Amino acid sequence: MSDPKSDKILSVEHLMMHFGGIKALNDVNLDVERHSITALIGPNGAGKTTVFNCLTGFYKASGGSILLNTQGKPTDVIKILGQPFRGRDFINPAQFASRLYYKMFGGTHRVNRAGLARTFQNIRLFREMSVVENLLVAQHMFVNRSLFAGVLNTPGYRRAESAALDHAFYWLEVVDLVDAANRLAGELSYGQQRRLEIARAMCTRPEIICLDEPAAGLNPAETEALSRIIRYLRDHHGITVLLIEHDMGMVMNISDHIIVLDHGDVIARGAPEAVRHDEKVIAAYLGADEEELV
């Protein structure tokens, strides 16, 4: 088991993901340093989104381990998603009970509760809800959901509602959307929607946030604003940011570490300058989009 005080907030070992005959991930090993901005890059089809989907529980990995080191304790992501029973569970009652529990009550929500949040390559907001409602829904875990308290509008219920609203407006301020608080999320510009997705993820109070191509479709000014927000998360909230991004200018500019995937394997890792000049990385990008690494 990993050490909860470790500087690694996430450790992935021998991660495999197979779709029938397609090996999207062969044997991925990577660590993410706490409080870092770490970029996961690689040519199209390298397996980046598949890694994210395994980390967040959208896919159940075919093999390997994913350990989160959050909230002062280690969390085995694959276990809390619910695993099939194994033969030896039947001679180990504690193991059997744990497996049964997570089969019944496990799932992606547990990964989020353990302190990991994400955004999506294709924005997935509640488009018919207002901007602020999107942020209130994200906090349902932290508000008082007792029917009794709601009907009687108890002081505790009002306090929790008010705290959730304050929290929502705090994040709207960070992502510069206070003026749009009452607009429908679906009416926002593309760049605003991307920022709202980050605010919504932050409202779940994560320790690590996974951003899937946050700069896709943004103009240079919006990308610059996004970079400032990402740095703010790390510098003012101690958040660890793991991002997939094709905008190499942005990646080289904001990342502390870069991990490079190709054909389902990690082919390089290190500081931006080292990765930029790594021959394996250059070779992987040649033939994909030669301009990408410049």
Ligand X SMILES: Nc1ncnc2c1ncn2[C@@H]1O[C@H](COP(=O)(O)OP(=O)(O)OP(=O)(O)O)[C@@H](O)[C@H]1O
Residues of this chain that bind ligand X (CB under 6 A)? 19, 22, 24, 42, 44-50
Asked if 63 and 12 count as a contact pair (C-beta separation under 8 A), the reply is no
Pick 176 or 292: Cβ nearer ligand X: 292
Asked if 67 and 10 count as a contact pair (C-beta separation under 8 A), the reply is yes
The answer for residues whose C-beta is within 8 angstroms of residue 30's C-beta and 6 or more apart is: 10, 11, 12, 40, 51, 259, 266, 269
- Residue 195 is encoded by which pair of tokens? 């920022």
Q: Smallest distance from the beta carbon of 136 to ligand X, in angstroms?
A: 31
Q: Smallest distance from the beta carbon of 50 to ligand X, in angstroms?
A: 3
Q: Smallest distance from the beta carbon of 214 to ligand X, in angstroms?
A: 13
Pick 165 or 282: Cβ nearer ligand X: 282
The tally of CA atoms less than 13 A away on the side-chain side of residue 248 is: 16
Q: Smallest distance from the beta carbon of 284 to ligand X, in angstroms?
A: 11
Pick 45 or 270: Cβ nearer ligand X: 45
- Residue 240 is encoded by which pair of tokens? 């660890």
Pick 45 or 74: Cβ nearer ligand X: 45
Asked if 218 and 194 count as a contact pair (C-beta separation under 8 A), the reply is yes
Pick 161 or 292: Cβ nearer ligand X: 292
In the block, residue with structure tokens 């206070």 = 178
Q: Smallest distance from the beta carbon of 177 to ligand X, in angstroms?
A: 26
Phi/psi for 280 (5° steps) reads: -65, -35
Distance CA 190, CA 152 (A): 40
Distance CA 137, CA 143 (A): 10
Pick 173 or 289: Cβ nearer ligand X: 289
Q: Smallest distance from the beta carbon of 27 to ligand X, in angstroms?
A: 15
Q: Beta strand pairing status for 8-19 and 63-70?
A: antiparallel
